[in-house]
Structure 1
């Protein structure tokens, strides 16, 4: 058998299985996760020049040795050594159920969403604390504290309890939506972890989330101009969209929908697929988009989905229909003013639309969004002079 070439993504993908083996052998979650991280660092150092024949077995052996060494250095050495036996030979790979439990544990309801996302990136994604801190634009010490608190919390939880797939999927989607910064592409990491989960578990909502991520990620390059400014969907250059990712996402979605177990991520993916399928913005099947938003609202009662449905309805039935639907929603919703501005512009009231764009800019949650809304207001103000 030949050696395995060094591939950082492959190394990280082995982390949950290795941690599951350690925990199954009796290691505590926090201690086991630290040992796995040390083994990953050693792999990064040595594998490029000396790759192992069996990467997972190598990681298990090194992580277990790190764990035993750490255990022996504790005051409670005797008590812990009764639970953590000395240096067994590498055993068989963890079962699907073992590694799956790590997803459930890292996305435990007792954790805040941000802590769950950070712990998932660390324990399941195999990323270092420094990488995660750089991605979230926070000091490494701050992220280390966040992860340590999360590990202490989940260390008190048992691995043999049923997990909630919906919570895991929301955590992975949160990671995906965090954006891109530094050397770490969180969206790509989320896709990688979701692929891993989909390969281990046959669940239509996991497939729905993977399809949704692929379909959104396919439009990534067209979402911003060279100067970093936002490019709305209607103005995007669709030749920049990744057709291979779209094709894969649609195929995964179709198989999931054929199971007739509709969930929120499948509904969102269906909407994304309709956008991806259209050759131009005006060629979008807006009637079907509205119908899928109806399904999404029925499943989630999510007010953001209700707001997005209003935009689709205006495209399907006209600005007046959209404004009537908008009037039924809470005006404190995020992006309410921006949607109202867009609909009034569609309806021809440019002065009111300009005022609403300016109002929306003061509520924007990112610099890019704020600048886009300011430019929209300026454009309409210039048009009404």
Structure 2
């Protein structure tokens, strides 16, 4: 793969860097709650109004229609500038729902939802996991029956991230009575203001309540909201998850490099218990060097990944390899910073801006679950990439 950027790429990088320098918010994002959601909407609206939303989305759907490599450059420049992290309340809409609708939605669904997603008007949440159907998603029980031109949904979902702020939900339900596993599932758009939806917040170790258990009691969803076909929801859901695992975390992959540089600067100014600078400790310096080398490898693999995406049009299972690498590297970096900071690292009040390293440490554990557990990623690699025989 050619890693030499074209003149167009370099021009895009310069324009992105200049715009971000002049436009990133002057205040930090609120730690959580409705204020955080409004901050995310406002930032997305600013991107939209200034022509930076949907860098790689097709132009016919409101995006810029630029190559994937320029999307990656955008993420690099956002990390460099310290722009708001893209994993926020707009994430599911931009990284899950939007791409899924582009790939599988009807023209009416695209026309209504895509502009609202790009502008930050609509926030989305995900309704896939259930109390007994997390990693084993195919065992989900939430069901629906057809009543005229509606589906009537009953059941529950869990880990509904930011569901209390969402306008719509990507909801996976069982629509064929008696069906098992992957068969008889349907992917639908659920309006979160529909009567019969209720939520119970779940407090996490990050100190917030941004995830929920969601209950559906005779919730009526129009059949026009089915994405794909009735009963083919597993195929649609795999499209959603392939975007999440393949390209949805590219921003995090690239932001890791900036975090390593910040950790090196931290080691240069932080003194250990014996009074020496952390960077003078050969073990710490060696581990920082190895982690930085890993992030450089991740960056190169990211460009290889998006190069393959441009050829095939689908992220494919190799995204699972990247997610495992990023998860492991992020955890290694967080553990090392914890050693450098010592007791100071333990101070945490839930505010990411005030305690960024502690937040990243806690998030590194979430990352081993979000988007499919590390165990599931290994299973995908073994099954779809290595073609190893399944365990009996």
Compute the TM-score of the two structures, normalised by the length of structure 2. 0.25
- Larger fraction in strand: 2
Name which structure has the greater RCO, CA cutoff 8 Å, separation 6+. Answer: 2
- Larger fraction in helix: 1
Compute the TM-score of the two structures, normalised by the length of structure 1. 0.25
